[in-house]
Amino acid sequence: MAETTHQHLRKFQEATKDKGRLLICCPDQPGIVAAVSNFLFQNGANIMESSQYTTDAYEGTFFLRIEFDCPGLQGKEEEMKSKFQAVAENFNMQWDMKFVYQLKRTAIFVSKQLHCLRELLWEWQSGDLVTDIAVVVSNHEDARDLVESFGIPFHHIPANKDIRKEAEKKQLELLEDYNIDQIVLARYMQILTPDFVAAYPSQIINIHHSFLPAFIGANPYGRAYERGVKLIGATSHYVTNDLDEGPIIEQDIMRVDHRDNAEDLKKIGRKVERSVLARGVKWDLEDRILVHQNKTIVFN
């Protein structure tokens, strides 16, 4: 099973060895797109996909995502970045140039509920979630057999509010050992400390089992049932120090009615959670998300 998945990844890397992505955020002004396009042209690149957005045509913030193909790109990454620096300084850009064949390394954190983890592993195995899932970390043993059946390392690190700092120290050491780029909280039921969040800014994706900002905190389905809600939702978002208030990536809903009890709402909610988390993770892996203040611009 693991060998087949790794074959998917190797084929993807070979097919994308000449592909790059350019992400830009800067004050809006005329000439940005022309300057970027001209830079890519001068360096032998062809634009494959381009998306842009401005908050205001005169005094706004401009966002741009470009995917390009450049023969011989592999091996001249630093040269391309160095050359682009002059363009970036001219427009006061915050920018990043990604190289598609360089797969992100993902760590998944999970507790006892495994539905979101199963969805991510299925998407990964089928080739729809293109990343190197390097490790799964849990404060329980429940997921071990599932994870190891995929050939992925599993680490059990007990964690609760009384030993949170000690647990996070071990977790951070593990993440550094595995050279992790992205962390996915697939129903990991522990609050992260500010120090942990600061170590991975805009790199930790959480799934919240309600349609934020409604029903934040614990037991959202019980409170939703008490309120007689007609829609069940889920929200994937980046983690910040403000609990459940980080930049929202994706949301979705399913309709319910008075015949559904609290347990029914949980089952329905899990379906939404799985898809909302998987989409959010996929868009992050494809560099389709730009975080600005406490919002996201998602070019999907």
Q: Which of 168, 286, 295, 175 is nearest to 238 (CA)?
A: 295
Rounded (5°) CA angle 74-179-278? 85
User: Encoding tokens for residue 201?
Assistant: 């800014």
Instruction: Show Cβ contacts of residue 75 under 8 Å, excluding neighbours closer than 6 positions.
Output: none
User: Encoding tokens for residue 247?
Assistant: 């930049």
| Catalytic-labelled residue, pool 18, 69, 142, 244 | 244
Q: Are 84 and 99 in contact (CB under 8 A)?
A: no
| Alpha carbons within 13 A on the beta-carbon side of 97 | 22
Q: Are 150 and 1 in contact (CB under 8 A)?
A: yes
User: Encoding tokens for residue 232?
Assistant: 């069940």
> Is 181 a residue of the active site?
no
For helices 115-125 and 262-285, the axis angle rounded to 10 degrees is: 40
H/E run at residue 31: none
Encode burial over 112-147: b for 16+ CB neighbours within 10 A, e otherwise.
ebbbbbebbbebbbeeebbbbbbbbbbbeebbeebb
Q: Which of 42, 43, 48 is nearest to 73 (CA)?
A: 43
| Alpha carbons within 13 A on the beta-carbon side of 218 | 3
For residues 45 and 34, give the distance between their C-alpha atoms in angstroms, rounded to a whole number. Answer: 14
**Active site amino acids:** 244
